[in-house]
Amino acid sequence: MTTLQTGGATVRLPQIHDPDLLIFVRHGQTEWNREGRMQGHLDIPLNGTGREQAASNGVRLRDFMKREGFDPTAFDFVASPLGRTRNTMELLRDGMGLGVDGYRLEERLLELTFGEWEGFRLEDLADKEQELLLQRRADKWRFVPPGGESYEMLADRVGDWLKSVLQPTVVVAHGGVFRVLRGWLEGLESANVPKLDVPQDKVFVWRNGQFSAI
């Protein structure tokens, strides 16, 4: 298991693996994304915008692979097992002109769980959970919501998955997953990882030691 011992200070994540080609897509928008609610492991479906984003990302990825001369059948397609990521993967593959069922599921790519806070917006918790929200603001990397996970804990399981990537891969997962994935691949400071922006209408390509967005 990949374990990052951080003590109490911010640390720079080591590059534990550098795959030749890794393509990441975040699931499309849900109503809870739009409302700013914490989803975590709750299975919230894509909304209309999210379905359009997923289909458009499929066309974008199809065109990219064609330009680069990549054979999509040589890629391992992997998704988080939640419904919003499976739906995104199927719309993505359809947009690429591929069969919608040609992918596998990976439990280690599940989103960070917010435990008892799932379904709430941060402003909903402002009065009842003021002390915990202050702790979260002070150290979002290590903060564990009641019954949930920290980014540090998420990084542990995503890091284990990353080390298993041995062939060109397309992964559909979540915002938190991409943040810690970038942390491992780019060797980022742990305090900066939770702040990374993860748009839902982009395809991210890792090759030659860096990410680019298409």
Q: Edge to edge, what strands does the sheet with 210-213 contain?
A: 104-105, 76-79, 169-173, 22-26, 204-207, 210-213
DSSP state, 11?
-
Q: Model-level pTM?
A: 0.94
**Tens-digit pLDDT profile for residues 2-49:** 445 445 678 999 999 999 999 999 999 999 999 999 999 999 999 999
Given this model, what pLDDT does residue 3 score?
A: 42
Catalytic residue among 31, 52, 68, 111: 111
**Tens-digit pLDDT profile for residues 129-182:** 999 999 999 999 999 999 999 999 999 999 999 999 999 999 999 999 999 999
**Residue 16 CB: number of other CB atoms within 10 A?**
14
Mean residue pLDDT across the chain: 95
Catalytic site includes residue 111: yes
Catalytic residue among 27, 106, 149, 174: 27
